[in-house]
Structures are given as C-alpha cells and as structure tokens.
Amino acid sequence: MSIRVKRISMASATIAIALALLHSLVFGSNLPPARGAVLPEINLLVPENAAHRDYLGLEDGTFFKIPQIKARVVIIEIFSMYCPYCQREAPEINRLYSIIEKSPGLRGKIKLIGIGAGNSRFEVEVFRKKYGVAFPLISDEDFSIHKCIGEVRTPYFLGVTINDDGTHQVFYSKLGGFKGAELFLEEMIQLSGLKGEG
C-alpha cells in the first residue's frame, strides 16, 4: 500500500512538473521584445494634446500604433510615476529630448514617447507636470501594453526603427537608465543605423 502511494505521489509530482514546464513554454514566453524583433500589436491612446499629436505626426483618432509615428527612430520609455529611478532619470531624459529637438539633423528623425505602466491619465499628467516632460506620455492604466512587452521593470527602454513601408524593427531593448543623454543618444544613432545616413 505504501509503495503504491509513493508511486502515485511520484507520478503526480512528475505530471505537475511537466505541466508547469509546458505552461512556461506556452504562456511564459512573455519576454521583452528582443533586438531584431518586431513589437507586439499594441494600441496606444492618441494624445489629447494637439502639440503632442503633431510631434508624433498623428491624425485625430482614438488609438495608434508605434509604426504610425512619423520618425525614423522611436525611443520608448516604459516608466511609472511611482518608480524612484524613473523620477531620478526624468531630467536626463528631458535633456535627451531637448538635444534631439535642437539638432537640425536629428529633429523629426528621432522621437520619444513614454508609456506609464499602470498609470492613469491623471497620474501620467502629474508626472509630466512635476518633471516638466515635453514629449508625449501615454497612459497604460490596465497594464495591457506592459503585459504585451513582457511585464518589464521600470524604467525600460526600447529603440525602434520605422521603415518607409511601415515595417519596423527593435534595435534596443534594455532595463535601466543611462549614463548621460549625449552618450545614450550616440548609442541610439549608432545602433539604429542613422549614423550611416549622415
């Protein structure tokens, strides 16, 4: 009887482990987009602010996708207003935006967007005002976008190149901040291929 119970217990444990492994293979592949990959299909709310819509090159509407942004390169920051690292890095990201916008060779080619993981429109607006963020910040209140991109910790940065035909490719995918706006921008230019375009 005890041998039979042991065999049943071992068989049950083996099945449980196999099911856990199968689950992780099927459902647990929710990893951040890798370099060379494409972004998952995500819908972002079109900014209410007309200047932000113009910056992104969007028409009026409800939702948009990253490849619809009028730029060669889009740098996406996944942030949370409650993340102390995001708060600390906000001034440096603002500097990055400012450097790009003041450069005739980069303005219009590289655009920034922030996605507030779990943040409501109100929370995103509080963060924007508190840290003087000039580029568009999009609410992801229900974490739906955050889940699509692997439930990354914040801040998380994605760099995406957008081709003329509307296709796109991830060239940068990394957790954490950067050492300085200039160095990060140079890395984005190099990795995206903008350097070769002159």
What digits encode the pLDDT tens for the residues 19-51? 343 333 333 347 899 999 999 989 999 999 999
CATH superfamily of 32-197: Glutaredoxin (3.40.30.10)
Q: Rounded distance, CA 117 to CA 38, Å? A: 20
| Domain range annotation of the chain | 1-30, 32-197
- Rounded to the nearest 5 degrees, what angle is found at the Cα of 35, between the Cα atoms of 76 and 148? 55
Question: 67: which DSSP letter?
Answer: G
Exposure string for 60-69, b = 16+ CB within 10 A, e = fewer: eeeebebbbb
Question: Does pTM top 0.75 for this prediction?
Answer: yes
pLDDT digits (tens, 9 = 90+) for 127-173: 999 999 999 999 999 999 999 999 999 999 999 999 988 899 999 99
**pLDDT for 62:** 92
Q: For residue 184, what are the contacts with CB-CB under 8 A and spacing of at least 6?
A: 96, 178
